[in-house]
Amino acid sequence: MVLITNIRFCIFSFKIIKTNQHGSKKKCNRKKANNKTGTVAKKKLTKSIPLKKSGSLISAKASKSVLKKPILAPVVKKTKVLYIDASFFFPPGNGGYTDNYQDGRYSANGMLIAPILLRVGSVMKTVTIYYKNNTTEDLTVWILKHHIDHHAYSGEVEVTYEACPPGIAAPDNFLQTVINHFDAGGKILDKYMYHIEIGTTMKTATEERLLRGIRIAYTEPA
């Protein structure tokens, strides 16, 4: 009788222990499930929302690229220089001319002409005349332009005019005059042909007006 009672007690105790173990497993499973759902929720909350490119919203990549664009410095046009020797100047028509070595050139009819060979869109800044003149009269300078389609009228043809005064300067009486005023701001216009006329040149035993050459300071077209 005592033996049967003990066996029943043992079976009852085993059932209680098993029930407790099963309950604790359920609790652990619930905790794991809660942890998983919490992680998923956190992931959902931390997920980035893509920004629209259109409208007022701009993506982060686009904003960075805008900020990284370099600031371009303004382009400053560099002044260039062209020297034209007196040997490139000739009298109009069939007039003769004489070279007086380094002192310059003069012509029989007094006039000397040369083309101005600058690209369309170039801008003349200054034209310097190098000459000798120990007379009492000026050496005159004209820069003119002719249109390729029609006769240029007075006011259209003239680019500039300047009078180079006489004088002396040690050691060789070499003089210079700078011209800095031009029609159209000195710009070489399309469909026009430019040239420079200098006169009157001459030479006697005691007097001379000679052209030695010119210097053109200009900027090239953009």
**Interval 8-64: pLDDT, tens:** 555 555 555 555 555 555 554 555 545 555 444 454 545 555 555 554 555 555 555
In the chain, pLDDT over 90 holds for what percent of residues?
61
Q: Which helix (H) or strand (E) holds 157?
A: none
Per-residue pLDDT reduced to its tens digit, 136-152: 999 999 999 999 999 98
CATH superfamily assigned to domain 79-219? Galactose-binding domain-like (2.60.120.260)
Cα–Cα distance, 189 to 166 (Å, whole number):
33
| pLDDT value for 60 | 54
Cα–Cα distance, 216 to 43 (Å, whole number):
74
| pLDDT value for 41 | 45
pTM, two decimals, is: 0.67
Question: Do the beta carbons of residue 110 and residue 200 sit within 8 Å?
Answer: yes
| pLDDT value for 197 | 98
Question: Do the beta carbons of residue 207 and residue 152 sit within 8 Å?
Answer: no
Cα–Cα distance, 114 to 122 (Å, whole number):
18
